[in-house]
Amino acid sequence: MSDKYDVVVIGSGPAGYVAAIRAAQLGLKTACIEKWKDKNGKGVNGGTCLNVGCIPSKALLDSSHKFHDAHKAFEGHGISTGGVTIDVPAMLERKNKVVKQMSGGIGGLFQANKVTSLYGTGKLLAGRKVEYVDNDGNKSVLEAENVILASGSVPVNIPVAPVDNNIIVDSTGALEFTEVPKRLGVIGAGVIGLELGSVWNRLGSEVVLLEAMDNFLAIMDQQIAKETQKIFKKQGLDIRLSCRVTGTEVKGEEVEVTYTDKDGNEQKQTFDKLIVCVGRRPFTEGLLSGDSGVNLDERGFIYVNDLCSTNAPGVWAVGDVVRGPMLAHKGSEEGVMVAERIAGQKTLVNYDIIPNVIYTHPEVASVGKTEEQVKADGVPYNVGTFPFLAIGRAVAADEQDGMVKMIAHAETDRILGCHIVGPSASDLVQQVAIAMEFGSTAEDIGMTVFGHPTFSEAVKEAALAANGHAIHMP
- Sequence ranges of the binding site for NAD(+): 188-195, 211, 279
Of 54 and 207, the one with the shorter C-beta distance to ligand FAD is: 54
Strands 183-187 and 273-276: parallel
CB 239 within 8 A of CB 232: yes
**Residues of this chain, 4-63, that bind ligand FAD according to CB under 6 A:** 10-16, 33-36, 47-49, 53-54, 57
Binding region for ligand FAD (CB under 6 A) out of 80-88, 207-215, 318-326, 428-436: 318-326
175-200 core/surface letters (b: 16 or more CB in 10 A; e: else): bebeebbebbbbbbbbbbbbbbbbbb
Q: At what angle do helices 88-113 and 14-25 cross, to 10 degrees?
A: 30
Of 57 and 441, the one with the shorter C-beta distance to ligand FAD is: 57
Report the run of H or E that residue 120 belongs to, with start and end: strand 116-124
**Residues of this chain, 103-132, that bind ligand FAD according to CB under 6 A:** 121-122
CB of 43 to ligand FAD, least distance (A): 10
Nearest to 185 by CA among 90, 142, 131, 249: 249
CB 435 within 8 A of CB 415: yes
Q: How far is it, in rounded angstroms, from Cα 312 to Cα 290? A: 12
Residue 331, interface with ligand FAD (CB under 6 A)? yes
Query: For ligand FAD, what does the binding mask look like between residues 207 and 236, x meaning CB under 6 A?
Result: ------------------------------
CB 175 within 8 A of CB 57: yes
Q: Is the peptide bond before 355 cis (omega within 30 degrees of 0)?
A: no
**Residues of this chain, 417-456, that bind ligand FAD according to CB under 6 A:** none
Nearest to 15 by CA among 393, 461, 261, 334: 334
Residue 401 CA: distances (Å) to CA of 17, 238, 417, 454: 38, 18, 21, 15
Of 153 and 310, the one with the shorter C-beta distance to ligand FAD is: 153
Of 113 and 172, the one with the shorter C-beta distance to ligand FAD is: 172
By CB under 6 A, name the one of 115, 199, 326, 339 that touches ligand FAD.
326
Binding residues for FAD: 58, 122, 320, 326-329
Residue 173, interface with ligand FAD (CB under 6 A)? no
- Coil, strand or helix: which one is 384? strand
CB of 301 to ligand FAD, least distance (A): 11
Catalytic residue among 409, 452, 469, 472: 452
**Residues of this chain, 246-285, that bind ligand FAD according to CB under 6 A:** 283
Alpha helix segments (H runs only) across 77-190: 88-113
Q: Is 77 labeled as catalytic in the residue annotation?
A: no
One-letter amino acid for residue 427 of the chain: D
Q: Which parts of this chain interact with ligand FAD (CB under 6 A)? A: 10-16, 33-36, 47-49, 53-54, 57, 121-122, 150-153, 171, 192, 283, 286-287, 319-321, 326-329, 331, 359
Q: Could you give the residue numbers annotated as active site? A: 452
